[in-house]
Amino acid sequence: MGISFLGLGYALPAQVLSNFDLEKMVDTSDEWITTRTGIKERRISKEESLTDLSYRASLQALNRAGVSPEEIDAIILATLTPDLGFPASACLLQARLGANRAYALDISAACSGFLYGLELAGGLLASGRTKKVLLVGAERLSQIVDWTDRSTCVLFGDGAGAVVLSSEGEGELLSSVLRSDGSLWEILYAERCGYIKMKGKELFKIAVRAMAEVCEEALQKAGLSVEDVDLVVPHQANIRIIQALAERLNLPMEKVYVNIHKYGNTSAASIPIALCEAYEEGKLKRGDVVLMTAMGGGLTWGAGLIRF
């Protein structure tokens, strides 16, 4: 399926919250957080709204794509932390951008939001009725973190990533495998207006197995093997999950993009931020085969394989 990433952008709040800052807030240590999660610091947005972050990321992606907001047919925004109950954050973004021809909707698929969005965008583009999609993953998880709970507050951060997608160009969505299991919702959730609650140990085990399975299936569907993959961009939840996944897939860590030390877990924003950084650093090049995978609340999980 033709799907080209015409431009990528990301936005992070300026405020850095380090592990040492957290040591002053809860009974934790830089040593524990680093060894158990790989996180050294995360970004926290006090002033910028979700729309502000999404807008900055989108503007960068559009500028880099050489696409004007009026050319966008659809805006899909994946988030757990919208600015308002309704309307959708995508509508606020649409207005801010002046994307006057676009229909706009949010999707709620937690950390898998970007991959769910990519599959939906692929379908819309394949229909031929939608030519260009702005796909955004954005979170202000700091809003729903209990800053007195050391088991969760050290893990999450804020940020946004955006991509401009088109059916025209060299890129391809080679395969996509998405799953959900709502019977496991209590492993990771927040009540309405409540804080994130997570059974971390249980989720850890499920995440490694489930992501490995969908990655293998995505490769199989595309008729490719692990050796054909140039870069893996996993959801950044825990460096130990990423390492265990790489081991299961028989992948050298050199092929796996990691930025968790800088931003922690930014849920739906994590994959697009990582993709954009990898591109800026020259680790992601045109024509590369890229495997993305995520797991999160829902439970939802999936893998997307693209030729970039």
Residue 28, amino acid: T
Site for ligand UT7 in 79-138 (CB under 6 A): 111
Strand order, beta sheet including 4-11: 4-11, 158-166, 132-140, 74-78, 103-107
CB nearer to ligand UT7: give 72 or 291.
291
Active site residue 261: no
Count CA atoms within 13 Å of residue 195 on its CB side. 13
Work out which of 16, 23, 28, 146 binds ligand UT7, going by CB under 6 A: 28
One-letter amino acid at 233 equals V
Instruction: With CB under 6 A as the rule, give the number of residues binding ligand UT7.
Output: 21
**b/e per residue, 1-39, with b = 16+ CB within 10 A?**
ebbbbbbbbbbbbeeebebeebbeeeebebeebeeebbb
Owner of token pair 């996180």: 39
Catalytic residue among 215, 235, 238, 276: 235
Q: Say which of 111, 153, 215, 276 is annotated catalytic.
A: 111
Among 7, 137, 161, 296, binds ligand UT7 (CB under 6 A): 296
Give the residue with the Cβ less far from ligand UT7, 111 or 135: 111
Q: Does 179 participate in binding ligand UT7 (rule CB under 6 A)?
A: no
Q: Which residue's CB is nearer to ligand UT7, number 96 or number 240?
A: 240
Phi, psi of 301 (to 5 degrees): -160, 170
Of the candidate residues 215, 219, 237, 244, the single one contacting ligand UT7 (CB under 6 A)? 237
Q: Does 51 bind ligand UT7 (CB under 6 A)?
A: no
- CA of 129: how far to CAs of 44, 74, 125, 162, 195, in Å? 38, 10, 7, 21, 40
Q: Token pair for residue 80? A: 């757990």
Q: How far apart are CA 239 and CA 259, in angstroms?
A: 9
Task: Assess contact for 86 and 37: CB atoms under 8 A.
Answer: no
Query: Residue 29 Cβ, how far from ligand UT7 at the closest point, in Å?
Result: 6
Under the binding rule (CB under 6 A), the answer on residue 19 touching ligand UT7 is no
**Contact letters (x/-) for ligand UT7, 188-217, by CB under 6 A?**
x-----------xx-xx--x----------
111 tagged catalytic: yes
Helical (H) or strand (E) element with 287 = none
261 makes contact with ligand UT7 (CB under 6 A): no
Contact residues toward ligand UT7 (CB under 6 A) are: 28, 32-33, 36-37, 111, 150-151, 154, 188, 200-201, 203-204, 207, 237-238, 241, 265, 295-296
Active site amino acids: 111, 235, 265
